[in-house]
Amino acid sequence: MKLKAVMSVLNEIAPIIYSESWDNPGLLIGDEEQEIKTIYIAVDATEAVIEAAHKAKADLIVTHHPLIFHPLHNISSMDHVGKRVMKMISYGMSLFAMHTDFDVTVMGVEAASMLDLIECKILEPTVNDDLGIGAFGYLKEDLSLRELAEKVKETFDVSHVKVYGDLEDTIVKVAVFPGSGSSGIDTACIEGCDVIITGDIGHHDGTDAIEKGISVIDAGHFGIEKLFIGFMEKYVNDNIDDITVIPDRAQKDFTVI
């Protein structure tokens, strides 16, 4: 299948028109006429990911985060982004990113579904009431903050979480905001959520959240957003015939020691 046909299928689940104006998703490297036989799916196009994709003989890497985000004034091995761009071109691999377009159509709702939340709504609608960033809903049964933190670890397969709040508090209503979620705290408070599950929460945002009456479970940026890999692996397998799909195992999150 040609790359342009693959892109058409990818755009069905996450139309690029839904991406934020500051974002840079879509085809970042490649020729639309290239024949694609193997797709490698990852969160980021790190050097480890690129090498793993090359070893797997992938023609296309599909990532969540765009490798090319800020303007490139040159492409050389002296720059960490340019070096990876050059390597992918030399390997004959294309690169396609699905970022805020995927966030709007899939990420928050899928994270909420994995947590078994019910009566879910979009936390920050961007396109309409059914499409936007993050989601919120109710637990099927009340849990303590401690119990929910353990559920988050198990659900998203993370070794640890950072919690702001009283671990014995009862949690009923939950917001989930994959990625960097400090901007979603106030909205989650307005919606009456007891906790927001997200990533990249610093000291001040965490302590301020407690003062605002909401707890925070920080499962990491990569920790939650890596659900992109499994979701897209299934989506491609279900919608494109005669394509080999390989989920990334090369990228690792930071280590707590």
How high does pLDDT run on average in the chain? 97
Q: Which tokens sit at 99? A: 């970022």
| Average confidence (pLDDT) over 222-235 | 98
Note the pLDDT of residue 208. Answer: 98
> CA Rg, the chain, in Å?
19
Question: 208-211 contacts: CB < 8 A, separation 24 or more?
Answer: 209/164, 209/165, 209/185, 210/164, 210/165
Does residue 61 contact residue 45 with C-beta atoms inside 8 Å? Answer: yes
In sequence order, what are the residues at sequence separation of 6 or more whose Cβ sits closer than 8 angstroms to the Cβ of residue 41?
A: 61, 62, 63, 228, 229, 232, 233, 236, 245, 246, 247, 248
Task: Tell me which DSSP letter residue 240 carries.
Answer: -
Q: What is the pLDDT of residues 68-127, one digit of tens each?
A: 999 888 899 999 999 999 999 999 999 999 999 999 999 999 999 999 999 999 999 999
N residues, the chain? 257
CA 34 → CA 27, 93, 226, distances in Å?
12, 9, 27
Structural domains in the chain, CATH included, are 3-98+226-247 (3.40.1390.30), 101-222 (3.40.1390.30)
Instruction: Indicate if the pLDDT at residue 38 is higher than 90.
Output: yes
190 C-beta neighbours (distance < 10 Å), count: 10
Model confidence band, residue 256 (pLDDT cutoffs 50, 70, 90) = confident
Model confidence band, residue 20 (pLDDT cutoffs 50, 70, 90) = very high
Q: What is the pLDDT of residues 236-247, one digit of tens each?
A: 999 999 999 999
Q: How far apart are the first and last CA of the chain?
A: 45
Task: Specify the 3-state DSSP secondary structure of 13.
Answer: helix
d(CA 6, CA 8): 5
**Does the model's pTM come out above 0.75?**
yes
CA nearest to 134, candidates 144, 142, 143, 122: 122
CA nearest to 163, candidates 186, 147, 178, 141: 147
Instruction: Indicate if the pLDDT at residue 172 is higher than 90.
Output: yes
Note the pLDDT of residue 6. Answer: 98
Instruction: Indicate if the pLDDT at residue 183 is higher than 90.
Output: yes
Whose tokens are 């992938």? That residue is: 58
Does residue 156 contact residue 219 with C-beta atoms inside 8 Å? Answer: yes
Does residue 17 contact residue 30 with C-beta atoms inside 8 Å? Answer: no
d(CA 239, CA 95): 19
Model confidence band, residue 252 (pLDDT cutoffs 50, 70, 90) = very high
In sequence order, what are the residues at sequence separation of 6 or more whose Cβ sits closer than 8 angstroms to the Cβ of residue 148?
A: 139, 171, 174, 195, 197, 217
Q: State what percent of residues in the chain have pLDDT above 70.
A: 100
